[in-house]
Amino acid sequence: MHVTADLAGRVARGVHIGIHRAGPDEYHGPGMEGRLQNAREDPREWSLPADALRLAPGEVHVWRASLDRPDAYAAEVAALLSDDELRRGARFRRDVDRDRFVAARGALRVILARYLAGMAPTDLKFRYGSYGKPSLDGMSVKDAPRFNMSHSGAWAVYAVTRDREIGVDVEQVRAELAGDPIAERFFSPLEVRSLRALPPELRVEAFFRCWTCKEAYVKARGEGLSLPLDRFSVTVSPHEPPALLSVDDAPAEDSRWELRALSPAPGYVGAFAADGAVSRLELWHWSATACD
């Protein structure tokens, strides 16, 4: 679920902000790229994955993937998708949006197949919860990895784990969207006050850090629009570790969840939310040549 390209239309309709496909010319904000590239989260670099991947209990693997690929690759990866996925991709009006959707779904299939011995990317079947959260169909809860994905502009991120619910979000930063009207509509009163208390030069970064943490938590719970964004609070300042602070009518909820910030590429911010403590985090860079 994304805040950027179709934000104005969704806000005008009074709807919780949903998936967008941002263009490559979107503004990143003055001086934002360098600051976000060195953002305050897990300091390790994104690495190419090992040949053999294993998910231990409590472990989370987060992948990033660039979605802008040569035309020949787009045709190749489209062969991995189901008819339903191809129909969904065909609904996009712009070629770039369609190609990025196809690339994101193809990468998802290849990534998940790496955790499933004897299964090819084309073998995977998906089912969707009442509010659209995806999971693998035809597999037991014990055998199937839990996963979530998000894409914005030219990048996608994927979070994979084995034994807990998880949600992930990525946003392409646009400074002109990080103002009081959006925060007042979708953030909790505590978050709005915290955002206003920050120095002006930190507010854009703080806005998107807050937004991605909130979306990741909503996606992990799989409750969609039934969980309004202003009914719970997360940390706002980029100087604070991400955390769920409180949830209306659920006083013990904040102690269950772990939030982590991500910086998948310059000009992008992200976060994931996991139901339970994360014992180990791996950051992988998806490459078509490395993951085929």
In a domain, 2, yes or no: no
**Successive 10-residue mean pLDDT values, the chain, 292 residues:** 44 36 30 38 75 90 94 87 96 94 96 92 94 89 88 97 96 94 97 97 97 97 90 96 95 94 96 97 83 45
pLDDT of residue 32: 37
Q: Does this model's pTM top 0.95?
A: no
Q: How far apart are CA 67 and CA 36, in angstroms?
A: 20
Paired residues of 286 in beta bridges: 65
> Is the distance from CB of 68 to CB of 97 less than 8 angstroms?
no
Taking the CB of residue 240, how many other CB atoms lie within 10 A of it? Answer: 13
- Number of independent structural domains in the chain: 1
pLDDT of residue 17: 36
pLDDT of residue 44: 61
In a domain, 115, yes or no: yes
pLDDT of residue 2: 54
In a domain, 1, yes or no: no
Q: How far apart are CA 270 and CA 135, in angstroms?
A: 21
pLDDT of residue 289: 59
| 288: its two tokens | 């078509």
pLDDT of residue 15: 35
In a domain, 124, yes or no: yes
Q: DSSP label at 237?
A: -
Instruction: Detail the DSSP E strand segments found in the chain.
Output: 59-66, 126-128, 134-136, 146-152, 155-161, 166-172, 232-234, 244-247, 257-262, 268-275, 280-286
> Which domain CATH number covers 199?
3.90.470.20
Domain assignment of residue 268, given as a range: 7-291
| 130: its two tokens | 């009442």
Q: How far apart are CA 283 and CA 264, in angstroms?
A: 9
